[in-house]
Amino acid sequence: MTTLDAEGFDLLFQKARTHVAWRDEPVSDETLRRLYELLKWGPTSANSCPARILFLRSRAAKERLRPALSSGNVDKTMAAPVTAILAYDERFYEHLAWLFPHNPKIAQVFEGSPSLAETTAFRNGTLQGGYFILAARALGLDCGPMSGFDNEKVDREFFSAQAPEGPEIPSDHWGQVRSNFLVNLGYGDPAKLWPRGPRFEFDDVCEIL
């Protein structure tokens, strides 16, 4: 397998930044769909794929999010072309007969242990969130991942029976979805970036045994 060239490493990692200011350029439906088509191939345990994503692009959707945001996140979120709510489905195991056909009975493990199901959903949903950021960068988008919001308010507002249906996620399942973190998406304004923060070196945080 070939590796990325230097430009590819820069795009995904070395020159990629967390953006807080945005150019006035829209993000198309096609781009958001391509983003998902990339991130969905990342591995998850038992191919569980617990991530659920709402892309908030309209002004009305953003206003529904506003009351849940911390004060420092309001302006940059309202200005971003898209804000994605990265969430996870606590009942992901109900889809395992389809997602993991070589051992469909594995769903019973999670049905009998809500705490294991929640831990598995959160861990793998977070993992998919990392793929989300890489997929977005690969498509030329800039990202501004955030905490700094009230998860309970987001869940009440967006993950209920009134949330939009999807082909594999009936509307009643949205009530079992929990928000994890937010990602602002668009085309960042590099002139408004602050200096990049330091990072640990290998020997500071790694050890080969």
Of the pLDDT bands very low, low, confident and very high (cuts 50, 70, 90), residue 168 is very low
Residue 166 pLDDT: 47
Structural domain contains residue 202: no
Residue type, 101: P
CA distances to 117, 121, 158, 200 from 143, in Å = 29, 23, 22, 22
The residue written with tokens 């009351």 in the block is 67
CA separation for the pair 145, 29 (Å, rounded): 20
- The whole-angstrom distance between residue 175's C-alpha and the CA centroid of its chain comes to 18
Judge whether 183 lies within some domain: yes
Average of per-residue pLDDT across 50-78: 97
Domain membership flag for residue 195:
no
Amino acid 1: pLDDT: 73
Please tell me the predicted confidence (pLDDT) of residue 12. 96
Number of domains in the chain: 1
Determine the average pLDDT of the residues in 15-31: 96
Where is pLDDT greater, at 104 or 132? 132
185 DSSP assignment: E
The answer to whether residue 193 sits within a structural domain is no
| DSSP H helical ranges for the chain | 6-9, 29-39, 59-65, 71-79, 96-99, 107-111, 114-138, 151-158, 202-205
Q: What pLDDT shows up at residue 175?
A: 63
CATH number of the domain encompassing residue 151: 3.40.109.10
Does residue 7 sit within a domain? no
- For residue 134, being part of any structural domain is answered with yes
Residue 206 has pLDDT above 70, yes or no: yes
The span from the CA of 85 to the CA of 129, in Å, is 10
Residues 80-114 have pLDDT tens digits of 999 999 999 999 999 999 999 999 899 999 999 99
Tell me which residue range forms the domain holding 28. 17-187
